Structure 1
Amino acid sequence: MATDSSSTSPSKGQAWFCTTDLPSDVVVEVEDMTFHLHKSALMSKSKTLHDLITKQEANGQKREDKDTYMDNSQDNDDKPGEEEEEEDGQTCHVSLPHFPGGSETFETVVKFCYGAKIELTTGNAASLWCAGEVLQMTEDVAQDNLISKTEKFFNNSVFNNIKDSIKALKSCEKLCPFAEKMGIVQRCIDAILAKAGHYDPTLFGWPVNESAGDPRNSPAKSRDPWVEDLAKLSSDFFNRVISAMREKEIDQEIVDACLMHHAKRRFPGISRSSRGNTPTGSPLSIASEAEQRKLLETIVSNLSPENSSRSSAETRFLFGLLRTANILNASDECKFALERKISAQLENATLDDLLIPSYSYLSETLYDVDCVQRMLQCSTMKKVIEKIDKVGSSNVSNGNGKGWRSKFGCKFTTKVCSSHESTVVDDRKARPRRSPC
């Protein structure tokens, strides 16, 4: 089968022709593309097109018809139908608005109808499956038709691989409500959960380091690629996957890894090494402040309550979230939750982490001293200090007290806190006091 695409008038968009010896007898309009095709090829594969064309022919070929190929989910004004035929009385006109996947997908469907071999991929299989359902390309119409072909591809290939399931789910973002109603979205999520539950959390290479947002700066073994693919999902689909993981009680370390990669992708400034490297015109940079705030609060609410086994790399990540929460003016609940999480592993913090910029016009310093004091006074930190004293006192007689104290973070409390206090004092001296008026 030979094809040809050419431009027509600006109002008509593009024209697509099937260059055979026979003249076309049906014109199908999808988006701004006009397909000049043959009835026999389409009617032999699609019950929807068969019914539309047959009914138009039976109606005398001059009456505009409003028959639909979709269910009642679409408005009547948007339903596809047939338009008045040309003066020769032979060419049918069919319009398919809101076709899943648009003209590109319909072009692939046309090639399939003409017997050409089509290549199914994780990127186009979902749209072709939806198109097959919309056009009723079932086994009752033709053997090995499009629906069965795409469904077999999903069952034998996509659903058996977590990366492919994520990519297929990503492609469904532009196929709603079709993919949602057909259950493709939920089946992709179920496949992701089935595979994610068998992963060993140690394979994620903790810590998730500062270069997690840039594959060029991090060794491949430090991150699992499917976690990065999951981070590319829209916030809506990503949140659904995370909620499903929590319901199925997937290992919390896996959930945290997904949340951290998604956060670093959506908020590039969280990692200091990636600040200022956001691509110009990136869709991530144009999200509204309200959307970013909602996303941040969702990420924080799903993080594990305790991360004592993690290293200082995640501590820096939590501090980055806290700074972002201050910038976006997130809820107090979100900020306090982050402070509690940080206080549980405060011994891993550095002086640079503790220098949290203050965004309050009432503050007399550049840094948020109250925030640091709250974290120091947090009950979680007090329990750590009590453990230090308890273990230290029981080992002083054996000469091991110093080692135990160093192990449990006394180095932090003596060195880092002193440095922070000195920095804040210098800041107060350098800045004039603001008038309370």
Structure 2
Amino acid sequence: MAEHPAYPVGLRLAGRRVVVLGGGQVAQRRLPALIAAGADLLLVSPEATPSVEAMADAGEITWHRRPYQEGDLADAWYALIATSDTDANNRASAEAERHRVWCVRSDDADLATAWTPATGHSEGVTVAVLTTDAKGRDPRHTAAVRDAVVEGLRDGTLVAPHYRTRTPGVALVGGGPGDPDLITVRGRRLLAEADVVIADRLGPRDLLAELPPHVEVIDAAKIPYGRFMAQEAINNALIEHAKQGKSVVRLKGGDPYVFGRGMEELQALAEAGIPCTVVPGISSSISVPGAAGIPVTHRGVAHEFTVVSGHVAPDDERSLVDWPSLAQQTGTLVILMGVDKIGKIAETLVAHGKPAGTPVALVQEGTTAAQRRVDATLATVAETVRTEDVKPPAVIVIGDVVKVGPPVPATSE
């Protein structure tokens, strides 16, 4: 038997008796998957780890608090033998053989009739890896292969197209602050499976170069607007491509719902009857300051932080921000889309009580290779933006947390 490779198969254990002998670390690792499979689980062991005991207390398994006895495997379909008693393991294996019960042994794989593969999961797919050479089993190598395959499926670097009909629709994907490695695993996978990608200027551009050649990439800034408002034209483009039966990804910078108009797009899709998935992204409001060495909260310094949009000035009638109240807060103020309005914003905050010496940091192109940080105060920030030629996109942080981290190294032109 040792000269032949194992035959891989998927067991459907729902409602079927599975017996586990031993309540130690092996059982603790294996039981969750057996529970998820719907097995009728019987644990036989005098003792169990706290985690295994909790499974019994929750009613997920039946626990007989005693050593193995002849007959325990009589009604089993599958058995996992994982006790520290070699004699009991041998007797249980013999019983399994007599009753034709597939049996895994944690202490001696050569005496087992079944092996547990290294398994992983990704969006409805189970990856199970077994070593084919019975004489040269290497569990660490098997696990490494499993990890590589699952990671590739999750992040989209291993593209496995769906050949059955897919339900067309749209995914609103938050691409994160700019570094392509900071997109979520699910977002990256959906990108790899897309037929059409409609991308924002602030989305992680490097990810677009990784897309397969058949994927149509549309720059949202270049969609012909004609008689439509820009956002309405984008909504129409999403709807039209989805109605053509395509899988569409709307790739946005940061998070779709943080000043990203994601809900407007979701509402338009819902009205058109188009299914939509929202994939959250890492918001630049916290990630960019963090990348520049600035915590938005810090013990003894700031117990709160507020994120506001600065795309309209404080004296603009369209502004919905209560700037006078913000001036009275002691926490951190994070401003997005406010570079060209920062002078008026600083002036307003100071006029309503914020100290003119309050530290300010501007982080341009955060998390990318072009990232740079410029420090100032509310009194000097307008002039600093001009002299340092700070350009959007940049995240502005106002508050004492700016001074919490290590000193900012001087930059040379």
Q: Does TM-score exceed 0.5, indicating one fold?
A: no
TM-score of the superposed pair, with normalisation by structure 1: 0.28
TM-score of the superposed pair, with normalisation by structure 2: 0.29
Q: Which has the higher helix share?
A: 1
Q: Which has the higher strand share?
A: 2
